[in-house]
Amino acid sequence: MGTSKPPFKAASLALLLALLLAAGAAVSLTRGSWPLPAGRVAAIIMSKCGLPAAGRPPTPVETAIIWDGRLPRLLTAALVGFALAAAGAVMQGIFRNPMASPGIIGISSGAALGAVLAFYLGLTASFPAALPLMAAIGALATLAAVYLIATSGGRTSIATLLLAGIALNLILGAVTSFVITLSTREFDVGRVIVTWLMGDLNNRLWLHVRIVALTTAAALLLISCYVRDLNLLMLGEEEAANLGVEVNRARNLLLFAASAMTGGAVAVAGVIGFVGLVAPHMVRGMVGADNRLLLPLAGLLGAVFLVYADLLVRLVIPVDLKIGVLTSLLGGPFFIYQIIRYRHRFEFM
């Protein structure tokens, strides 16, 4: 019984999260300023996919609302939530610290700076792909800089890596603030930059879906090859090496994969906090620290969390509240509550 309990819990949690995600998707696609019945939504999606659909053909307006508006936004929210939560789980395993998050080594800050520069230089006006491209370049450049600082004699210290990330976070944040200050001379540019930095899913396109889907799928494929090594790294690098893990290789590739997921998510949705911190922490408390279960379930919880947060922003809250602000407002107090609740036995398990 003892060995079957975690898989049973994981299966139950996976089913619950899948049902919640499906329900959230249904509401997201059918509700809005132009409500549409579920049958019409299904007919539109089937028609665009080349499948026969019952009933009258969808109108161009209905097709634009669903296929060009709500569906890309829904998929972007789900994929970004999944990517941030899965990246957070990987980071927490590598650093053996439940307080680690996707931005711990400066990747989020690097992607944010790249995006801010794209706005400030006016690249997004003539080239829509400039925003995700510059964000990806910023994320990868930051990762390279962190490794350059932390590596000596072919070996990378995990402590030095963390310190280098903290330092670069501060530097990149300061440079981003400086660029924002310069952009305030042009009100529209400054407003767009600040809005994006708050985290935003408005006007997402299929381009954004493809970017985050590609980076997430490629990163998950790489992580799946090293998930056993990630479990062993949680025992400590010396213990993992004794058990046959090539520590430097495994850790570096896992960090690269987590950084790629984070960079892709930030590139399409801006800076969204706490998803990558809270989701893995919650799932770990339910199914344990085995990353074969933790990673997909944390990703599913992150997807559910961001889809429902987007529903609140779009349908419930009357003001134009950005989704990154809402996730921090929801995730911050919850995480503080968890810390207070378990402060006497707060340890990585």
Q: Which of 179, 106, 119, 116 is closest to 145 using CA atoms?
A: 106
Burial level of 123, CB count in 10 A (0-12/13-18/19+)? Answer: middle
Provide the pLDDT for residue 129: 77
pLDDT for 331 beyond 90: no
pLDDT for 338 beyond 60: yes
Provide the pLDDT for residue 1: 40
pLDDT band at 5 (very low <50, low <70, confident <90, very high): low
Q: Name which of 47-51, 226-230, 294-298 the model is least confident about.
A: 47-51
pLDDT for 349 beyond 70: no
Q: Strand, coil or helix: what is 151?
A: strand
Provide the pLDDT for residue 30: 94
Beta carbons within 10 angstroms of residue 55's beta carbon: 9
> To the nearest whole number, what is the mean pLDDT of the chain?
86
For residue 319, give every residue at least 6 positions away whose Cβ sits within 8 Å of its Cβ, in sequence order, or none: none
| % residues pLDDT > 90 (the chain) | 34
pLDDT band at 2 (very low <50, low <70, confident <90, very high): very low
Amino acid at 201: L
| Tens of pLDDT, residues 163-208 | 888 899 999 999 998 988 888 777 677 788 888 888 889 888 898 9
Q: Scanning the structure block, which residue is given the tokens 């696609």?
A: 29
DSSP element (H, E) containing 155: strand 155-156
Is there a contact between 82 and 216 (Cβ–Cβ < 8 Å)?
yes
pLDDT for 95 beyond 50: yes
Distance of alpha carbon 60 from alpha carbon 48, whole angstroms: 11
Provide the pLDDT for residue 19: 97
pLDDT for 343 beyond 70: no
In the chain the domains, ranked by start, together with CATH numbers, are 5-16+72-345 (1.10.3470.10)
Question: What does each C-alpha distance from 160 to 38, 93, 157, 167, 228 come to in angstroms?
Answer: 53, 17, 5, 10, 24
pLDDT band at 344 (very low <50, low <70, confident <90, very high): low
Provide the pLDDT for residue 104: 79
Distance of alpha carbon 262 from alpha carbon 246, whole angstroms: 24
Cut 0.85: pTM above it: yes
CA 300 to chain centre: 11
Provide the pLDDT for residue 348: 47
Is there a contact between 254 and 100 (Cβ–Cβ < 8 Å)?
no
Q: Measure the N-to-C terminal CA separation of the chain; round to a whole number of Å.
A: 21
The residue that leads in pLDDT, 40 or 125, is 40
Structure tokens at 28: 């997201």
Question: What does each C-alpha distance from 263 to 30, 272, 281, 339 come to in angstroms?
Answer: 30, 12, 21, 28
Provide the pLDDT for residue 200: 85
pLDDT band at 75 (very low <50, low <70, confident <90, very high): very high
Provide the pLDDT for residue 58: 78
